[in-house]
Each structure stands twice: as structure tokens, then as C-alpha cells.
A and B are shown apart, each in its own frame.
Chain A
Amino acid sequence: MSVPSYLDQNAPTEISIPHGAEWRFEVPYKTIMTLTVKDGVGEIFGTELPNDVALRLTGRKGAVYAPLSSGCRLQFETHPNRDNINTSNEDELVHQYVSTDTVVPQLANLSFALEVVRLQAAADRLRQKTGPKVLIVGNSLAGKTAAAKTLVSYAAKMERVPVLVNLDPKEGVFSLPGLLTATAVRDFLDVESVNGWGGSPTTGATPHIPKQPLVRSYGFVGVSENVELYKYQLEQLGRATLARLKDDDDARVGGLVVDTPPLTMKDIDVIETIVLSFSIDLIVVAGNDRLVVDLGRKFELQISQNALAVVKISRCNAVTEIEESFVRKCQEDTIREYFNGNFRTRLSPLKFDVDMKTYVIYKVARLLDYTSQMAFLPSGDSYTADVEGEEAPQKEESLEKYFVKLDDPNSSNLENSIIVITLVPVPANGVVLPLELLDSSVLGYAHVLKVDDAKQKMSMLFPSSNNIPRHVLIATDIGYME
């Protein structure tokens, strides 16, 4: 008698991971995998899993590592994921295998070396020395984010509070894609959340301690869309982060872990901006020997002054391929999680119809659009911003390079987009000060569900059910459909 295949798949599969090896898995969105550690210790990118508790993973590629000599025995079973049953171009099978090729021992070495530095910072009774300020760079799929997760998780296990900075706008770290965040990590990451990081505070209960990010809006998922805006926002984030390190002794000792989008020597100006803005003192290059050498040359001076070191770690092979559609799905789910929560914590966003005339709405500018637009301006007729009372003889920031005001907000330029709610209240005279807008961090995000052009109303989804502020909005390039 032949057993139906779905039963086959439902039967729990047992896996034994030897000490120092990792079990790699790829769970499609169509499928839910429940994973239970039965014996020994297992961890996903530094986050130790509880024993005998079923964890639910869907749409995830990762690895469970066995750090101790007792190894790790686990069980997993799969079920169809009804929410994603129509996700195309993937099969429903979980791909999985054990590999001894793992970068975790290197990351553990690095973590302990960093802890030595943190102890030295802790010993500084003048409280000036900081913990290590680490920048992780490398190609796509080199394991940068896996390294970042492992470094902050191990640090948190040693009772440190490093600040995790995410500069990869493709990832939504404790927030949505399209933005840059800095978050002090004191506790466990939530491996069950959409991207394995976890959530920000809600008005109620969450099964994991939430993490409180500082959020700066960029508005695109690609750095090249407006590299000027990207650099501007990361500089601002850097200033705030260093101020936090000055103010908060735990963060000072904890130092920084900065995760980045794939950057190469072509983006050296971006790398330099990051190094300066965050006072980076250690660059960790994931799986790119060439980049190690090039950066060594580039930062020769700082290295000779011992202000900076560049080291490499091996490429992390736990995840070898991620399709564009997989990334996109992950971004969508991250957005859904922001508004609606997840299977453990349900959130109730507020749907609200808004009179568009009472708002001032900007849109993030594509740099290419901006430069071509500038070419048409007669020379000498350059844009000057409306800044009053700034006595500093500094060059006034022109806003158009970053944000364009939407004079005619309508369904074609707003519908289904994610909108930034800034901290800038809509001014009575409608005139927004460029610097104020540029300096604003993000209060939250709204989703434009529908725009009624005739009535000049838009139907919006807000994360918070109270106190919806009438602030200047910035439409991002991130689209989303419910």
C-alpha cells in the first residue's frame, strides 16, 4: 500500500547535527516548517533555540548550528501554508542537509575578540573608550546579515547591549524595508518573525522583548536610486548613534555592528561615508579577499594610525541563492507584520479616510530624475531653500535633490504606496522648512489603500489606532498591496 505523499511529508523527520556542523534548510512560502530541538543545543545565527518547543518557520532560508560537543538532535515537520498556497515558482518541499562547512566558529572567535575589547571599554572609568564599532561589508549572499545577527546575539548573551545598525534598505530590521535603522539589542532575536529579527514595541503584549529602533527614511530598496539621500540619511543616523553611545553607558561598551547592502570598491564613497559617520574601527569583509586588500589600501592611513583594522571572514554558505521574488515576498510580509502583526501577536491597524488637501505630501526623488531636471534650469536660476534664521554660513540644503513636493497628489502617484509619517506637523502656511523635513526621523508608516481623485480623499492604513498626527508625509518608492 502506498502512502500518500502529503502524509510522507507530515511525518516528523529527525535530524542529528554533529558538534560544529550546521543543518541548512530552505522553507518555501508555501510551506510551514515546525522545528523542535529535542536534545543538545541548537542555534540559528546566534540565537539559541529553546528545547522541546515547536518553532514555526515559513519562507525562510537559514541554518541551525550545533555549538556544543553534545551536538543537536531536532525534529521537523511540514504543513502547507494556506496564506501562501498560491505563491508561484516554488515547490512546496523543504530542502535541507547537514554541512560541516560553517563560518560560525570564525564568528565565535570574532565575538570573543570583540568581548575582550568591550571589557577594556567597560574598564575605562572615564567612560570615554567605546566598545568595537564594527562594519560588515561584502557581496550579496556573502552572509553579512547572518554575521550581524550572530555578533549581536552572542554579545547580548554576554550581557552586552550593542547597537545594531541596518543600512541595507532591502531588509526591514525591526521595521520596514526602505529605511535605515539603529537599534540597541539587549535580548534575543525573534527567529519566528518574518525576517528573523523581530518587532518594535506595540501597545500591548509581544512574546519577545521588542526592540526600539531609530528610523530614518530612505524610501527606496536600492542604494543607487538616490545615493545622495542615502548618504545624507546614514550620516544623520550615524550622528544619533554616536550620541547614543555617549549618553548610554551600556551602548558605549556594547559598540556597534553595522550591516550593509552589497558594496564593492565602486561604492567606496558610500563605504567611506559609513566609516566616518559611525567612527568605524573594524571592517569585517565577508568572503571577498579582493575587497580586503582594496580596503586595506584605501584606509592605509587610518590603519597605520591604528584607528581602523580590516579583517576578513569566510563566506557563509548557509544561503546560496535567493530569488528576487523571494526577497520581494519577504519585504511584503515584513510590511504586513508591521501593520497586522504575525501569527503570535495580532495587531489592529486603523483604516482612516483622509482629506488630501489638509496634508502636505512629498515623494522621494530619484537622483537621475533630479539631475536631468536640473539640466533644464537656466544657469544662475538654481533652487534656494526657504531657511530662516539660520546664522550658520553653511550651504543651505536643497530639498529637491531628496524630496519632491507632490503638487497634485492622486491615485497614480500614491495608491498602494507606503508613506512615511514625518515628525513635522503640517505648517499653517503650508511652507515646509527643508532642513526640518530632512532632519526628521520617522514617526511611523502608513499604507495608501485607495485614492479617490474626485473627492480628494485617500483611504489609509495606520499602524497606531490613536493619535494620528497631521504631519508632513513622504511617499516612498515602496509599493504594497494587501
Chain B
Amino acid sequence: MDPTIIKDYELTLRELTFNSKSIIDVLTTIADENKLEAQGIVRAITERITKCIPEQKLYTLYLLDSICKVVGLPYHTMFGNEIFRIFTEIYLLVNDQTRAKLVKLFETWKILKAKNSTLPLFPEDQLEKIGNFLRQAKPRVAESLQGGIVQLSLVADISSLLPIMEQRGHSDPSDASIPQKISALRELKLILLLQQFGQPELAGIQARLTQMKTQIAQDSQANAIVPSNANNSESTPKFTSSQSAPAKSEATAPEPAKPVATVLFQNLISSGLVKVDQSLKKDSKPEYELVLPKHKYSPQSFNTSSASILSNMIQDANMSQLPQHEQIKYKELLKLERKLGTVESFSSNLQNFILNNTLDASTVQVLYETKSLKCSQCGKRFPSDDRGTAMKKLHLDWHFRINKRLSNHKTNVQSRSWYLDTAQWVQFQENELSEFEPSTVKKDVNTRATSTEVAFVVIPSDETNMNNVCAICREHIKPSINPATEEWVWNECMLAPGNNSGRKIVHVSCFEEANRKRGAENDGNGRVKRERFA
């Protein structure tokens, strides 16, 4: 414990009487460098929020925000459990304008993950409570705010990029451009904090930043890969939703990583965010200058970003490795993207496109003959490559099983399942219902066994207690005689999995039900206990 650090911190905190980027940066850095004092710093900040006048509370919350986003551990977890209380306390004391800013801030919390982690910045339950609180407090607030949300998250983006750049600067001091690049980013961050931007500019900036972040993430991933372990390298980007490609394990060598800073800065330059001036004189240093993309980015709908995402994507994806039907689809969509214009107001073109465009025959075929194998029973289509052929075979197997069972009306007793609860549905994987999912096959086998022949458990001859109970629903089960074998049995039951005694049984129906629900069971969100009539 170093009381002087905390004392100093408290003093500097008092200067935070206006939205000062520099003070927040300084205090963030101090927090970063003094993680051992985290407890004291957290207390100082929380106290400051409580004590200062309402107008200044927001700025201290910005500091809290900055520390959690930039430094991360241990701060974000320490603030995390209090964040609902802190946030609502402020919210209740401030004016509508400040409330709007609070909501914006909250929006960024909902999106951002904690540094170096896949967890959210603050605990989900706290965020959910804030969300509920805001919904109740002022349901209409969110509506007027959608525009401004991005700006603060951009600042956060830059804040997370900066330390990476700095690190690169340290590790590669020979690259003289890095310090300049850093200062350009810093300047951009500052302007973002000071000035209100229109949506188009913000979208432009966001697009570039997103790209940079991705690049950095990839580069650091690529750097982390041990060359001998090529199998684990980045898999080809996955564009389709359904099944992964068959195991074709040609070990593609990872692309040599370009130095992050170079890539990053090339992006900045190519985006027009940074202008580079280099005289033709030998050895002259390039001059970097920040250019704001005032007119570079025009309005876009759907938050679409850079010029032609599709064409970039197609280049990235190395088209030749994609299945042919997808290659065709991308090519057709690329044509449409040009007509629609991703950059030049997608939405105003959209109306004209819907009413007046005539799709090329080749585009229409994306829905039909591009996948030329059509199921003779239901009309579902599959591509004619190896994978499509295999899928169609699985699909036909499924038809066969289902038809066989459906034709067996008398023994195929089935009923509607219960619906899922909200938490289960949110986590439900739709392909669990698909004909390609192995679990379906397994389940099919189970139900078939029970539906085409009556299931029962033969009561062991040495059993003294003929009455039993279902281990799932606890219903009492009485013995009955199997007319075919004249044995005593527990009807409609099966041995519980993992059972050794021969006595632990469950209803077949209970087991299936439990099995089906199992996937979503671990959501911890208060699964409802099922009860049966007494």
C-alpha cells in the first residue's frame, strides 16, 4: 500500500471538473501503472462519483470507463459488481442531456468485450439490470440516440489500438514512422472526443478502425503460431452458415505476417484518413497529416462499411477454394452490389432496385440450378460437388427413416413437445433439428426402438420390491405382465443410463424429453422444475 499514490490520485480526480481527455488519460495511465493499488484507486473513483456535484459525475464515470476499457484487469471486475449501482445513482441525479450520454456509454458496454478476454466488459447480470432500469426509466430515450452511439465506441477502439502500436514501436525502434502514426491516432481520438461528427464520417472511421483491429488480431494470431504446427493455423474464413467442409486437410502455410504497424498505417492512408506527403528527395522523411473524411464517405444503410466489401472478401477468401456454387453466388452478388452501390446510398438505390431491376437469369439460378441436385421427395436442393452429393445422401436416408416410421401409424405414437423457454431458445442450435446432425440419427434410433416395439424392463427374478419409481419424474411404477413372454416387467420404461443395479429405471418418454432438453440445460437461468400430478 502506498498512501501517497492514492492521495495524489484523489487530488487529480478533483480536477476532473470538465470533460478533459488529458486528465482522463493521465489518470488511466496511473491506474495502469499502479495495479497493486487498484483497490485504493477504485475506492477513490467510486467516492468521487458519490461526492462530486451531479454535473461532474459523468466525467468521473468516463474515467472509470476508460480505465476498464484500456487497462482492463483488475479494474473492470472490481467496478463490475458495482456498476449497476454507480450507473443508476448517477442517472437519477442528472439532467436529460447527461442521461443521453450515459445511455450512449452504456451502449458501448453492451458491445465491448473486456480486454484480452471474450467476456463482456462488465458482468451480464449487471448490464441486464441497467438495461431493464433504462427501459423502465425512459423507454423513449434510446430512440433519439442511435446516431451518437458510435462516436464513443470509436474512441474506445482507438484507445485499444494505441497501446498495441506503442508496443510495436518499442519492439521495432528502427521503424521511425510509428511515433508519427501513433500521434495521428491520438489526434484522431482527441478530435472524436471534442467534436460531434455526422453519421457518414463516423461510419467511415469505424470501417477503417474495424479493419485495423481485425488485422491486428490476425497478425498477432499469426505471430503466435509455431510454424511446425501448421494444421492449427487459421482456417479459411467461413462464409456459409451450415456445415463445415469435409476434412480436406491440405495444410496451407500461414501467410507471413506483415508488420502490424505497416498494415495499419497503409490502411489509414488508403482510407484517406491520413495523408502522406513525401518529397522526392532521397532520405526525406514522409510527413503524415490527419485528414478527416468529410466527403469521402457518403451515407450508407445497414451500417455497411467499406467500398466493396464483397470484392475484398472475394479476394481474401481465395475464391478457388470455395465450393463452386458459392463462387457463383459471390460473382452474381458482386454484380448486384455494383448496381446497389454500397457506398453511394444503398437505401435510396434499394427502392429503385426492388421495383425496376430485372435479375439476370444467371442470378436467379443461384436459387435453383446452381445447386443442381434436387431432392425427388421434398424439392430441397444440394450442390453437385462431393459435399453436396454426400449431404443429399444423408438427406435421403433421413427421408427413408421418417417415411418408414410414419407408415407405421399404430405403433408410432408421438406428440407435440413443449416449447423451449427464452434462455433455451436463445441458445438453441437450429441444426440440432437438421437431418445432417448425428444427434438426430441417434435420437431416431432411440425413438424407433420404443415406438415400433413396446419398451419395458424385465424385473429381475431376485427382486423383492416389485414397485419402482421413475428416476426422472418420480412417478410410481407398478409391475405388469408382458403377455408375450409372461414375465413381470416395468412397462414403458428403460434402465437409467449408467445404471448397475437393474433397479434404477426411467420412463422412456421422460428420458427422451430430458435428452432433448439437455443441450440447453446449463444456462443456469432457472430452468423450471417439472412436476407431475400427485
Interface string of B35-56 (1 = CB under 8 A from A): 0000000000000000000000
Contact A214:B210 (CB < 8 A) given known A53-B377, A205-B406:
no
Tell whether A204 pairs with B302 under 8 Å between CB atoms, given A126-B210, A312-B351, A470-B531: no
Contact status B203-A306, CB under 8 Å: yes
Binary A-proximity of B423-435 (CB < 8 A = 1, otherwise 0): 0011111110111
| The stretch of B7-15, B174-182, B413-421 that contacts the partner chain | B413-421
Known contacts A208-B378, A306-B203, A467-B532: A346-B132 contact under CB 8 Å: no
Judge whether A306 and B414 touch: CB under 8 Å.
no
Say yes or no for A395: interface residue by CB 8 A criterion: yes
Q: What chain B residues lie within 8 Å of A67 (beta carbons)?
A: 364, 367-368
Judge whether A132 is part of the interface by a CB distance below 8 angstroms: yes
Contact B300 A50 (CB under 8 A): no
* Of B146, B302, B336, B530, the contact of A467 (CB 8 Å cutoff): B530
Which of B239-247, B460-468, B479-487 contacts its partner?
B239-247
Picked from B303, B304, B351, B429, the residue with its CB within 8 Å of the CB of A311 is B351
A281-309 Cβ-contact flags toward B at 8 Å (1 or 0): 11000000000000000000111011101
B378 touches A344 (CB 8 A): no
In the bound complex, residues from chain B placing their C-beta under 8 Å from that of A276 are 139, 142-143
Q: Smallest distance from the beta carbon of B366 to chain A beta carbons, Å?
A: 7
**Chain B residue at minimal CB-CB distance from A440:** B421
Contact of B419 among A69, A108, A443 (CB under 8 A): A443
- Cβ distance B360 to chain A, nearest Cβ, rounded Å: 10
CA A50 – CA B434 in complex, angstroms? 19
* Chain B residues in 8 Å Cβ range of A386: none
In angstroms, how far is the closest chain A Cβ from the Cβ of B317?
9
A306 near B419: Cβ-Cβ < 8 Å: no
Nearest CB to that of B203 among chain A residues?
A306
Instruction: Determine if A154 is an interface residue (Cβ-Cβ < 8 Å).
Output: yes
On chain B, the residues within 8 Å of A430 by CB distance are none
B473-531 residues with Cβ-Cβ distance < 8 A to A are 473, 507, 509-510, 512-513, 516, 528-531
Rounded to whole angstroms, the CA-CA distance of A319 and B402 in the bound complex is: 34
Let me know if A320 is at the binding interface, CB within 8 A.
Answer: no
**Could you tell me if B415 and A200 are in contact, using CB atoms closer than 8 angstroms?**
no
Contact partner, A119, options B313, B377, B402, B427, Cβ 8 Å:
B313
Closest A residue to B509 by CB, please name it: A466
Selected from B300, B340, B374, the residue in CB contact (under 8 A) with A113 is B340
Given contacts A120-B310, A392-B136, contact A464 B146 (CB under 8 A): no
Q: Is there contact, CB below 8 Å, between B379 and A50?
A: yes
Contact A306 B354 (CB under 8 A): no
Contact A393 B88, CB 8 Å, known A112-B359, A119-B310, A212-B433: yes
Tell yes or no: A361 within 8 A of B by CB: no
Q: Which residues of A contact B473 (CB under 8 A)?
A: 466-467
- The answer, yes or no, to whether B471 is at the interface (CB within 8 Å) is no
- Map CB proximity to A onto B361-404 as digits: 1 under 8 Å, 0 otherwise: 10111111100001111111100000000000000000101110
Instruction: List A residues 305-337 near B (Cβ within 8 Å).
Output: 305-307, 309, 311-314
B275 touches A (CB below 8 Å): no
Name the residue on B nearest A314 (C-beta).
B355
Spot the interface stretch: A87-95, A181-189, A256-264, A473-481: A181-189
Chain B: which residue is nearest A122 at the CB level? B239
A307 / chain B contacts, CB cutoff of 8 Å:
146-147, 199
Task: Determine whether B213 belongs to the interface, using a CB cutoff of 8 Å to chain A.
Answer: yes
Contact residues of B between 320 and 379, Cβ < 8 Å to A: 329-330, 332-333, 336-337, 340, 342, 346-347, 350-351, 353-355, 357-359, 361, 363-369, 374-379
Given known A-B contacts A68-B368, A158-B367, A186-B431, A200 and B357 have beta carbons under 8 A apart: no
Which B residues lie within 8 Å of A248 (CB)? 426-430
- A138 proximal to B (CB < 8 A): no
Interface centre among B368, B403, B414 (most CB of A within 10 A): B414
Q: CB distance B359 to A301 under 8 Å?
A: no
Interface assignment of A221: CB less than 8 Å from any CB of chain B: no
Give the contact-size bracket for chain A.
35 or more
B301 is an interface residue with CB less than 8 A from chain A: yes
CB-CB under 8 A from A96, the residues of chain B are none
- A347–B213 Cα distance when bound, in Å, is 53
Which A residues are CB-close (under 8 A) to B363? 112
B194 at the interface (CB under 8 A from A): no
Contact flags A149-177 to B (C-beta < 8 A → 1, else 0)? 00000100111110000000000000100
A467 to B309, CA, bound (A): 51
Chain B residues with Cβ below 8 Å from A281 are 301-303
Interface presence of A84 (CB below 8 A):
no
Q: When the two chains form their complex, are residues B418 and A444 in contact, meaning their CB atoms are under 8 A apart?
A: yes
Given A306-B301, A306-B347, A423-B421, A202 and B533 contact (CB-CB distance below 8 Å): no
Complex Cα spacing A5 to B124, Å = 69
- Report the Cα distance A444→B530, complex, angstroms: 13
Q: How far is the CA of A161 from the CA of B302 in the complex (A)?
A: 18
The interface residues of chain B lying within 8 Å CB-to-CB of A186 are 241-242, 430-431, 433-434
Known: A48-B368, A106-B354. A305 touches B377 (CB 8 A): no
- List chain A residues, Cβ under 8 A from B133: 392-394
Instruction: Give the residue of B142, B359, B402 whose beta carbon is less than 8 angstroms from that of A205.
Output: B402
A contact residues around B301 at 8 Å (CB)? 281-282, 306, 309
Given A158-B367, A306-B347, A307-B146; A244-B425 close (CB under 8 Å): yes
With the chains together, A128 CA to B509 CA distance in Å?
40
B interface residues, Cβ below 8 angstroms from A? 88, 92, 111, 129, 132-133, 135-137, 139, 142-144, 146-147, 199-200, 203, 210, 213-214, 217, 237, 239-242, 299-305, 309-310, 312-313, 329-330, 332-333, 336-337, 340, 342, 346-347, 350-351, 353-355, 357-359, 361, 363-369, 374-381, 399, 401-403, 405-406, 409, 412-422, 425-431, 433-435, 444, 447, 451, 473, 507, 509-510, 512-513, 516, 528-533
Closest 8 CB pairs of A and B: A204-B414, A309-B347, A394-B136, A463-B416, A50-B379, A466-B509, A214-B425, A250-B241
Known: A203-B415, A464-B415, A466-B507. 12 other contacts (CB 8 A): A53-B377, A105-B358, A110-B354, A112-B333, A113-B354, A202-B417, A203-B513, A205-B414, A209-B435, A247-B427, A347-B416, A466-B510
7 example contacts (A-B, Cβ-Cβ < 8 A) are as follows A123-B239, A157-B367, A250-B430, A282-B302, A302-B146, A468-B533, A469-B531
